[in-house]
Amino acid sequence: MNEESSNEPQPQARHSTLVTRRFTIITHSPEETVSLGRELAKEVQPPCLVLLEGELGSGKTTLVKGIVASLASISEDEVTSPSFTLVHEFGAEGTVYHADLYRVEGAHDLATLGLDDVLGRDTTVLVEWGQKFGEYLQRPCVRIFCEHLGGDDRRITVERST
């Protein structure tokens, strides 16, 4: 019963998040990067710390716009860089936080941001320049590396640790 013909090729196992631990995509416009962020949002299960690395202008905040807009059900225009305020909170349910540690100088500064408290909650926390504080920001579930390839091209590498 239900025997497959021996000549039929076996269906390939579908990609799953467990199989695809690391992938790289090149985007060619900010809009494409926002769309990628919206796709990535579907794969983020809180509690989740997402660390974003890459030089200024490499697209970290642009990618975050897509992720946050999707998770918090808001417009991507409402997601602005927290460069000066350092931590932004979005959404009522399924709250998501976005932090930018570029201007944070040391552990003492970091402690004043209240990130510890936020990281203890059942939320998604997106942190730009998180690698500056690797020893304090334990166990990211996703790391994202953004690279400026010139013009409007950005290479985005996503690495999951779960």
Contact partner at residue 59 from ligand ADP, Mg ion, none, CB < 5 to 8 Å by partner kind: ligand ADP
Nearer to ligand ADP, 57 or 134 (CB): 57
Tokens of 138: 């334990």
- Cβ-contact 69, 76 below 8 angstroms: yes
Contact partner at residue 27 from Mg ion, ligand ADP, none, CB < 5 to 8 Å by partner kind: ligand ADP
Count of residues that bind ligand ADP according to CB under 6 A: 19
The answer to the question of residue 130 lying near ligand ADP (CB under 6 A) is: no
Q: Which residues contact 150 (CB under 8 A, 6 or more apart)?
A: none
Of residues 21-80, those binding ligand ADP (CB under 6 A):
27-30, 32-33, 54, 56-62
In whole angstroms, how close is the CB of 122 to ligand ADP at the nearest point?
26
Binding residue (CB under 5 A) for Mg ion from 37, 50, 51, 60: 60
The answer to the question of residue 61 lying near Mg ion (CB under 5 A) is: yes
Contact partner at residue 56 from ligand ADP, Mg ion, none, CB < 5 to 8 Å by partner kind: ligand ADP
Of 88, 75, 69, the C-alpha closest to 127 is: 88
**54 vs 74: CA distance, rounded Å:** 25
What does the buried/exposed string (b/e) look like for 40-57 if buried means 16 or more CB atoms within 10 Å of the residue's CB?
bbeebeeebbbbbbbeee
- Cβ-contact 101, 129 below 8 angstroms: yes
Nearer to Mg ion, 21 or 103 (CB): 103
Partners of 26 in beta bridges = 155
Q: Which residues bind ligand ADP (CB under 6 A)?
A: 27-30, 32-33, 54, 56-62, 81, 128, 146, 152, 154
